[in-house]
């Protein structure tokens, strides 16, 4: 079946370094993608989204890159801070679809002092 998966379950980075979290998706019909951040004991928090008509979108300290050719999505966090430590999920859907998002398994990001 269709799925969205992450390459790495865990990622450790030094404070101040840049982080890159990857995600592969298999549904070629997906045209809308979201990254969520989930801190321990909390609900997922929207970080940034991107539509398939874009390759790159930037937010505050975060950038999402979309490569439709290889069905790959990445989240880049600049100057990673301790508060960035969390589980990051990618999710995909089709614009206008009534169905819920398809979530990846998540990547645990740990920021080392």
Binding site for other proteins (CB under 8 A): 32, 34, 36, 41-46, 49, 89, 91, 93, 95-101, 103-106, 108
SS (H, E, C) the chain: CCCEECCCCEEEEECCCCEEEEEEECCCCCCEEEEEEECCCCCCEEEEEEECCCCEEECCCEEEEEECCCCEEEEEECCCCHHHCEEEEEEEECCCCCCCCEECCCEEEEEEC
> Closest separation between CB of residue 15 and other proteins, Å?
23
In the complex, least distance from residue 51 CB atom to other proteins, rounded to whole angstroms: 9
Kindly tell me which of 50 and 111 has the beta carbon lying closer to other proteins.
Answer: 50
């Amino acid at each position: 079946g269709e799925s969205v998966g992450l390459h790495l379950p865990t990622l450790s980075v030094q404070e101040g370094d840049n982080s890159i979290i990857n995600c592969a998706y298999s549904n070629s019909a997906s045209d809308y993608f979201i990254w969520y951040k989930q801190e321990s004991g909390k609900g997922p928090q929207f970080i940034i989204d991107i539509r398939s008509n874009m390759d790159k979108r930037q937010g505050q300290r975060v950038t999402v890159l979309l490569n439709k050719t290889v069905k790959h999505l990445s989240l880049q966090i600049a100057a990673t801070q301790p508060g960035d430590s969390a589980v990051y999920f990618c999710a995909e859907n089709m614009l206008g679809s009534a169905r819920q998002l398809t979530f990846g398994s998540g990547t645990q990001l740990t920021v080392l002092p």
